[in-house]
């Protein structure tokens, strides 16, 4: 097989604008026929070849939650390269290193092996050691030009540092497919640790069942913002969602439905059926969360919110189940006897009877089994919204007291909504330590007394005021999902509150109830109830961006003079920078107009198999909340021309954010060359630009192919003439605008070209002088092996070239003159054997030998004096 022509495949360039351009590689071992087939394929992306990224976001790091301390290193940055490693110096760091690699590998396309030992220049290093900050979850992160180091006392701290590092990379790092971005991180020194030890998110799978896969995805999404607790609401009136050994009726009957849906018995199809987890499913979720340093808190709500339990034992369905063996109406203290399914959003209608032995048999079984499966310290009893018409206050308090002692017997801390504070915590010595989750909406008045009373009893508090943390509330009247009973509340409401001052002291009848302060608060939590939420996309829509506000309140220092960036305005700018990340990883969210979402753009370098024409997708745009009609795109092609780009992609619906957009364009270049192009996208005053390189030095299709022997002169006046193993017995002349490609051939005479598009000689011998003037591209061999060395048995003159000059590994029996070539990249004059002098003058830029010097029989002069 003869050597022939293949489009240039340029080496990757990670940093544009400095240093010499990489040497092009233009030929490979293919036949002319293969060349022709390749040349007809049109534009091809360069795969991992690198281009440019840009963002309208400010240059400083935009991190959520805000770190305790961040110092930017002026002029310092680090670019992740393909040879980088992730170095873990301790077994505690290995798992976190694997997780970091799993994030970085898909988007970068790099191997990023996880290694032990000492880090080298260019590596990311995870170090277990003293970070000089509170050790439980704190970390230090340092970015210099030579690498990245995260230091923490344990794996959890390293994991938190990794979440910050992700936000230092361009948004495209979150993509699950390779992206042509510059993986550059700004130089910073960060010291960071959390304000509260409990930073939670609650997901209600009782009202609407969700499979394990959805919950795992949600775990990944909340872990990215250093949330460390997942509160799972596993049962409610509408469904019981966890298998309990020895009690199959709880799931056979109790898990059939989801809230807000119909039943087959209603004569309609249940559009959203129920479901349940096996205990293996639950353990899978617990372990998955633990691998992200998230503690699971299980909740089985009681004595109210449990019609699904009551239906499993006291309903007509229970009478028919297993011959009525489990039927026992004594547990039913609800307002319906016998009980019936109520799949609406109603509350305060169900209650377990505290006097029923079956109530306590079921309750004990559930608490014992779930506690055994849950390594975390808490068991959440619920305890909210029990009507006194169903259970008098004394009966309710007695229920919570007895249940709390069962929880204590399992070695867990009893946790519940603020109503459980009515029980004798702090006064009954057999009662466990208790944690109240405050969900009230009127903390200044009597609405805050449950929190104050809990503090009096020595209980700890998790702050979840419904009108500031409930993710199931509508953003505004126009959003289709959610309810409004607590608030209609967008991002400002979720961010603008302070846990330690929300519930002040209050005097009632001469008695002062204490304030709830940081001395009592262990953390914050953002619950997401699912009355109107059915799937992952809707969960994400309701949670983001508001969950990030609660994450920052839980992690970052209290707002004040010592932390001037801990403001709503700063948070919105930093939160806006998350939008492109969410779009890159295909995560839904609500692009609220109250956040100044920016534009992020990435464009990949292009290599053309037909050197003249580029077509199709050129850049990817993240533009949260922007319609296609609100955006304009301009493409500057690098040859002095520009055109309007075409924007396409999926636009938003009332429940989904718009997708990533594509910028496309078409252009034909007049000649061969390497062009620096750029895409600019604008929306109002916001503008973003990304540059990319177009390598238009590929080989077009042959219009004439010569094989065998050609006797006499050969003149190429137009098109492309390819010599494939040919012998030309006479001179060859290439006219302006035409091209000559010779592979494994002989020219027994001089070669003259004037204004030729291309003259490429690979493995070819020319017996006379070669005079090549005013062309676009000249190649005599390529030392990379893509084009075999050429031999010219006479002098060679290359002058006035405008595209590319490569004279590499070839033999010139006479003098070699390279002069007045004005080309985008440095002419390559490398590794040649020149029988006469070597002279280079007037070239811009000056020629380079790429580190391989030339052997010259005469003097070296001018720009080639040292080559």
Residue 785 per-residue DSSP state: T
Residue with tokens 């012998």: 727
Q: How far is CA 228 from CA 98, 222, 291, 469, 845, in A?
A: 19, 8, 11, 16, 56
CB distance 206 to 239 below 8 Å: yes
At 189, list the tokens: 């020194």
Measured CA to CA, the distance from residue 604 to residue 693 in angstroms comes to 8
Judge whether 498 counts as a catalytic residue.
Answer: no
CB distance 125 to 119 below 8 Å: yes
Radius of gyration of the chain (CA): 35
Shortest CA distance to 787 belongs to which of 27, 189, 259? 27
Helix or strand or coil: residue 804?
strand
Residue with tokens 């229970």: 318
Residue of 11, 368, 385, 531 marked active site: 385
Shortest CA distance to 695 belongs to which of 14, 16, 11, 54? 11
Measured CA to CA, the distance from residue 731 to residue 70 in angstroms comes to 70
Shortest CA distance to 393 belongs to which of 420, 359, 355? 420
Measured CA to CA, the distance from residue 247 to residue 244 in angstroms comes to 5
CB distance 783 to 804 below 8 Å: no
DSSP string covering 165-221: HHHHS-GGGG-SS------EEEEEEEEE--S-SEEEEEEE-SSS---HHHHHHHHHH
Measured CA to CA, the distance from residue 779 to residue 783 in angstroms comes to 11
Residue 511 neighbours by CB distance under 10 Å: 8
Measured CA to CA, the distance from residue 105 to residue 807 in angstroms comes to 38
DSSP string covering 682-741: EETTEEEEEEEEEEE------SEEE-SEEES-EEE-SSEEEEES-EEES-EEE-TT-EEE
Residue 609 per-residue DSSP state: S
At 689, list the tokens: 């630009």
Q: What is the 3-state secondary structure (H, E, C) of 421-441?
A: HHCCCCCCCCCCCEEEEECCC
At 321, list the tokens: 């189940």
Residue 825 neighbours by CB distance under 10 Å: 20
Alpha helices of 324-356 — where are they, by DSSP H? Answer: none
Query: Per the omega criterion (within 30 degrees of 0), is the bond before 338 cis?
Result: yes
DSSP string covering 639-696: SS-EEEPEEE-PPP-SSS----EEEEEEEE-SSSEEEEEEEEEEETTEEEEEEEEEEE
Shortest CA distance to 698 belongs to which of 741, 729, 663? 741
* Exposure on the CB side of residue 288, measured as CA atoms within 13 A: 18
Residue with tokens 């607590």: 486
CB distance 178 to 48 below 8 Å: yes
CB distance 194 to 555 below 8 Å: yes
Measured CA to CA, the distance from residue 786 to residue 763 in angstroms comes to 10
At 20, list the tokens: 């010499």
Would you please indicate which residues are annotated as catalytic (active-site) residues?
385
């Amino acid at each position: 097989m003869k050597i022939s022509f293949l489009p240039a495949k340029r080496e990757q360039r990670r940093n544009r604008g400095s240093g010499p351009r990489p040497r092009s590689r233009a030929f490979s071992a293919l036949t002319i026929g293969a060349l022709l087939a390749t040349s007809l394929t049109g534009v091809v992306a360069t795969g991992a070849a690198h281009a440019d990224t840009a963002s309208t976001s400010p240059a400083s790091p935009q991190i959520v939650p805000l770190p305790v301390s961040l110092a930017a290193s002026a002029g310092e940055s680090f670019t992740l390269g393909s040879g980088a490693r992730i170095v873990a110096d301790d077994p505690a760091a290995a798992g976190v290193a694997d997780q970091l690699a799993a994030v970085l590998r898909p988007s970068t396309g790099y191997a990023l092996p996880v290694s032990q030992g000492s880090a080298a220049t260019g590596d990311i290093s995870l170090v277990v050691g003293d970070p000089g900050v509170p050790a439980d979850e704190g970390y230090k992160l340092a970015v210099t030009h030579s690498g990245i180091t995260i230091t923490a006392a344990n794996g959890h701290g390293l994991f938190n540092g990794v979440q910050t590092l992700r936000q230092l990379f361009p948004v495209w790092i979150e993509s699950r497919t390779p992206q042509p971005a510059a993986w550059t991180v700004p130089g910073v020194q960060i010291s960071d640790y959390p304000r509260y030890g409990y930073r939670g998110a609650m997901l209600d799978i009782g009202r609407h069942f969700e499979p394990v896969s959805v919950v795992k995805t949600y775990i990944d999404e909340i872990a990215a913002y250093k949330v460390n607790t997942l509160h799972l609401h596993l049962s409610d009136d509408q469904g019981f969602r966890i298998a309990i050994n020895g009690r199959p009726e709880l799931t056979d009957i109790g898990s059939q439905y989801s809230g807000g849906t119909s039943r087959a018995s209603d004569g309609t199809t249940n559009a959203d059926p129920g479901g349940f987890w096996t205990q293996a499913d639950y353990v899978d979720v617990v372990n998955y969360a633990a691998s992200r340093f998230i503690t699971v808190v299980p909740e089985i709500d009681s004595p109210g919110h449990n019609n699904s339990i009551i239906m499993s034992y006291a309903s007509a369905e229970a009478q028919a189940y297993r011959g009525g063996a489990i039927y026992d109406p004594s547990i039913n203290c609800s307002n319906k006897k016998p009980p019936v399914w109520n799949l609406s959003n109603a509350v305060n209608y169900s209650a377990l009877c505290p006097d029923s032995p079956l109530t306590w048999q079921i309750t004990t079984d559930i608490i014992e089994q779930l506690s055994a499966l849950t390594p975390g310290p808490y068991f959440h009893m619920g305890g909210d919204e029990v009507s006194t018409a169903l259970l008098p206050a004394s009966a309710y308090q007695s229920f919570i007291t007895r249940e709390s002692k069962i929880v204590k017997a399992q070695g867990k801390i009893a946790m519940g909504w603020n109503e459980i504070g009515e029980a004798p915590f702090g006064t009954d010595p057999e009662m466990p330590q208790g944690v109240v989750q405050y969900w009230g909406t009127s903390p200044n008045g009597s609405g805050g007394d449950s929190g104050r009373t809990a503090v009096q009893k020595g209980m700890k508090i998790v702050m979840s005021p419904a009108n500031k943390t409930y993710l199931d509330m509508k953003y505004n009247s126009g959003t289709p999902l959610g309810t409004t009973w607590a608030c209609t509340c967008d991002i400002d409401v979720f961010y603008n509150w302070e846990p330690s001052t929300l519930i002040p002291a209050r005097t009632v009848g001469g008695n002062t109830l204490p304030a709830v302060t940081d001395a009592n608060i262990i953390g914050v939590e953002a619950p997401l109830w699912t009355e109107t939420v059915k799937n992952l996309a809707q969960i994400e829509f309701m949670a983001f961006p508001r969950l990030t506000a609660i994450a920052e309140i839980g992690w970052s220092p209290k707002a004040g003079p010592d932390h001037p960036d801990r403001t709503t305005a700063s948070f919105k700018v930093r939160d806006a920078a998350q939008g492109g990340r969410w779009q890159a990883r295909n995560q839904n969210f609500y692009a609220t107009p109250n956040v100044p979402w920016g534009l992020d753009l990435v464009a990949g370098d292009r290599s053309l198999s037909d050197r003249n024409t580029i077509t199709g997708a050129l850049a990817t745009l993240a533009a949260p909340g922007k319609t296609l009609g609100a955006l304009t795109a301009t493409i500057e092609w690098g040859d002095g021309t520009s055109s309007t780009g075409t924007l396409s992609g999926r636009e938003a619906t009332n429940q989904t954010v718009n997708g990533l957009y594509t910028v496309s364009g078409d252009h034909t270049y007049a000649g061969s060359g390497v062009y620096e192009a750029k895409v600019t996208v604008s929306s109002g005053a916001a503008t973003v630009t990304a540059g990319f390189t177009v390598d238009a030095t590929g080989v077009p299709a042959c219009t004439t192919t010569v094989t065998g022997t050609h006797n006499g002169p050969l003149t190429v006046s137009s098109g492309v003439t390819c010599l494939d193993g040919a012998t030309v017995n006479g001179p060859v002349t290439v006219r302006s605008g035409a091209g000559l490609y010779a592979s494994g051939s002989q020219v027994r005479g001089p070669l003259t070209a004037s204004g030729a598009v291309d003259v490429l000689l690979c493995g070819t011998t020319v017996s006379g002088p070669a005079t090549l003037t005013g062309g676009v591209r000249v190649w005599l061999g390529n030392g990379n092996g893509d084009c075999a060395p050429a031999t010219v048995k006479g002098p060679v003159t290359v002058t006035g070239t405008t595209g590319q000059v490569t004279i590499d590994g070839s033999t010139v029996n006479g003098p070699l003159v390279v002069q007045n070539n004005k080309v985008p990249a440095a002419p390559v004059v490398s590794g040649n054997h020149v029988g006469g002098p070597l002279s280079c003058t007037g070239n811009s830029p000056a020629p380079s030998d790429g580190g391989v010097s030339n052997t010259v029989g005469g003097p070296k002069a001018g720009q080639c004096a040292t080559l």
